[in-house]
Amino acid sequence: MSRKNQLIELLSIETPIIMAPMFLVSNVNMVVEAMRSGIAGVIPSLNYLTGKELAQALDDLNEFKSSNENRGSYGVNLIVQSTNIRMEEDLKICLEKKVPFYITSLGNPEKVVEQARTYGAKVFCDVTNIRHAQRVNEIGVDGFVAVGSGAGGHAGPYSNQLLVPALQKHFPDKPVIAAGGIANGKGILSMLALGAVGVSLGTLFIASTEARVSDEYKKAIVDSGMKDIIMTARLSGAPVSIINTPFYRKLKEQDEKAGTASKNQMTKLERLEEGISMLEKSIQPGNYNNLWVAGHTVELIDEVRPVKDIINRLKEELKVAIEEVREEDFFED
């Protein structure tokens, strides 16, 4: 019997789950484990300092993909904003390596769509509202990643409970992948019930054995609850969700003391560079610079586990969740 889920078809995977791209966190090993488990993993091109390193990572992923017994796939996340001066070079490398699919964020994905099409690769685009969805729809993206409130990273303002059906209403033919606030099978089923073709999960995979971030960061994911997540524009200029650590509180206090005058002396790019440099330090072991990006799902994460175990549990939970919704509980014959 053939399966009808659109994301399974579009990406040639077994289960419609994506391991979301995470700046400084995602790595080849995590994505390989995702593919081995029959889902898709996505890696941000900016996790590599040079084009050569990116090319090597893509070679490794292609080699694994072609030998993998299960149907898994991988994609690359491209930041298509003008501040990303690496965009052209990274896209060129991705095209050469025939990356199977792309997730673009923060800008105009036109070039990516145009080029990816030359060899049949799919392009999905992060959207947080209908206006942006309208623009990228006109460009001809293959689908949307609906980034809802509570997501790790650049979370959107709207709950996916509304954003997913709203996107469906406005663009009935465009597949929607839900991202943000999902960390178990019931969460996945809820998004599928709303009409999403699949889900993209980030924060849950920070607490994986394979994530090469400090144990302190992983412990913070396990120990924190949703009350500990706040939004700050301090790192990239746009609001990003982070764990409200004592380090962040001190930084904010210093900013407030310094006042807006000194802040204004820095250009946008300088602030972005400073933010990225602080983030880079934060993921290193034993660093007091605790600026840790994470979403609300920290509330549901209780342990650090291998990627394979995390995915197996999600699949099991999804099956149980589907079985638990029984028609006879709601309707009489």
Ligand X SMILES: Cc1cc2nc3c(=O)[nH]c(=O)nc-3n(C[C@H](O)[C@H](O)[C@H](O)COP(=O)(O)O)c2cc1C
Shortest Cβ 183–ligand X spacing (Å): 7
Residue 256, SS3? helix
d(CA 160, CA 146) in angstroms, rounded, equals: 7
182 closest CA partner among 331, 328, 317, 27 = 317
Shortest Cβ 328–ligand X spacing (Å): 33
Please report the DSSP string for 282-313 in residue order. Answer: HTSTT-S----B--GGGGG----B-HHHHHHH
d(CA 332, CA 87) in angstroms, rounded, equals: 57
Shortest Cβ 254–ligand X spacing (Å): 23
Shortest Cβ 221–ligand X spacing (Å): 9
Binding stretches for ligand X (CB under 6 A): 20-23, 25, 44, 77, 105, 126, 147, 151-153, 179-182, 200-203, 206, 293-295, 297
Residue 13 or 20 having the CB closest to ligand X: 20
Neighbour tally for 186: CB within 10 Å? 16
Shortest Cβ 180–ligand X spacing (Å): 4
Shortest Cβ 30–ligand X spacing (Å): 12
Residue 154 or 252 having the CB closest to ligand X: 154
Residue 22 or 32 having the CB closest to ligand X: 22
Residue 139 or 276 having the CB closest to ligand X: 276
d(CA 280, CA 42) in angstroms, rounded, equals: 19
Residue 30 or 264 having the CB closest to ligand X: 30
Residue 222 or 258 having the CB closest to ligand X: 222
Phi, psi (degrees; rounded to nearest 5) at 135: -65, -45
Closest residue to ligand X: CB criterion: 202
d(CA 4, CA 169) in angstroms, rounded, equals: 20
Token output for 171? 């663009």
